[in-house]
Amino acid sequence: MSSVLVPAIAAQITVTLRRQPVGGLGLSIKGGAEYKVPAVISKVFKGHAADQTGMLFTGDAVLQVNGINVENATHEEVVHLLRNAGDEVTISVEYLRKVPSFLKLPLGSPGPPSAHSSQASSPLFDSGLHLNGSSSHTAPSSPPSPIANEPKYEKRWLDAWSVPLSMARISRYRAGAETLRPDAFQVVALDGVSSGLLQFPSTQEHAGWLRAVSANISDLTLQTMEMTNKCCSPCEQVVHMGWVSERLEEADRSQTFRPTFLALKGPSLYVFCTPPVSILDWVRAEKTYNLCEVLFKVDKPQLPDACCSCANLGFRDPDFGDQGPHCFSVLVGRGGSHSFSVELGSELAEWEARFQRATFMEVQRTGSRTYVCSWRGRTLCLTVDFALGFTCSDSRTKNVLWRYKFSQLKGSSDDGKGRVRLLFQNLDTKEIETKELEFQDLTAVLHCVHSFMAAKVASVDAAFMDSQNVTRKFMHSS
């Protein structure tokens, strides 16, 4: 399946309102970040500006006002922006499939359309609901209710469109929040076309569709990788690629998330804002890192979530009940790092396994890496060699000062800056010999040592790679 059919209900739209002398914008707002809910339209006044567009409805979450993002804004901040935005106000809204309870919208039973039906559709509770103005269903007469004459709703499919799944991404994040929806997701195509929010009646059905759509995206991504590799040399093959969510920390220490496309290709990890669709696109990566000098780390506390335990998305460990995403970090040189997350436990396991494979392939392909270092004013070179181990030589004369096998390294420590102390065991005397060196980028050197030593062990122990896969240990636990 290369695409998914969805009901024609726009998940996110942008509308321009012209403020009227009487009635203003013609809408009311409830909610806000201080209540841990998005700001939503609580009422659209008939005949006024918002109602005249035919595109704004009660329950729509306000995302932007005149291009300013308000997903994390307080109620007062959103109201202030709307009141002071000028005569023409452009707002972007997202339809929330699960209507916030504080709106207290009517739950009238379905009924046939009447002559008084609205000409606009407002899907408030289920995909494809049609706003019905029938007055035959009213609220109980006692006590009187201010919403007794609100319209009722009936189910009706409006239309359908196709969302291409090739290089598409899945998102479960709530609008204006950092939490995941437990029973809904949306699919966003490479060209930006969105499925809208797809809500499911049960966690099991949600999990099934999430796995199915994810599997089809993965299969299509694999086909794209195979086509790309036909145009690349053997040392520049794509091992794995796909969408992740990257956690970013703002200046005020708040956290935001953005979709990021990662790729393991040849000697490098590529970080893209948008996927590469041609060979020429690979040069426009936002960042690239040498695989030998980075470290992949699974964030264990975030591994299994509620969806996994309830719907068997992969993890079965009963001690975890967190509803957060499946997270991992990539530690890079000079103490830097990136924090990513994926939707499924199987995706996390795949990233971990592919990262190990790509790194080990790069170690065996390059064979060795040399770093300039110093000790007591003397410029030296440390070579980490897949076959020989560690070799330290004079940078000017190239004379070898000392050499040890990987198996002789018994311990190490560093000062967190640039100096490292390596403890080797002399094969003849069995004594521990200490070597101290200083590097400009100690983190990259330590990651390289880890990569080479892990690759060395994996070359003689076929079970080593599986034993190091943290994610799969949880996936296969009962």
**Token pair of 356 as six digits:** 């190990």
Between helix 203-229 and helix 345-366 the angle, nearest 10°, is 20
How far is residue 220 CA from its own chain's centroid?
19
pLDDT, tens only, 270-324:
999 999 999 899 999 999 999 999 999 998 654 444 333 333 333 333 333 334 5
The pLDDT value recorded for residue 181 is 82
Give the Cα separation of 304 and 297 in Å (integer).
16
Give the Cα separation of 58 and 29 in Å (integer).
9
Q: Is 328 helix (H, G, I), strand (E, B) or coil?
A: strand
More confident residue, 379 or 147: 379
DSSP symbol at 138: -
Side chain identity at 280, as an amino acid letter?
L
pLDDT, tens only, 20-55:
888 889 998 988 888 878 898 988 888 899 989 988
Cis peptide before 143 (omega within 30 of 0): yes
| Residue 213 φ/ψ, nearest 5 degrees | -65, -40
Give the Cα separation of 210 and 255 in Å (integer).
25
Give the Cα separation of 456 and 85 in Å (integer).
63
Give the Cα separation of 17 and 3 in Å (integer).
34
From the CA atom positions of the chain, what is the Rg in Å?
29
pLDDT, averaged across the chain? 80
Give the Cα separation of 299 and 160 in Å (integer).
39
Give the Cα separation of 467 and 6 in Å (integer).
42
**Token pair of 430 as six digits:** 């069995």
More confident residue, 249 or 474: 249
Q: Is the pLDDT reported for residue 357 higher than 90?
A: yes
Q: Is the pLDDT reported for residue 8 higher than 60?
A: no
**Token pair of 75 as six digits:** 């109620």
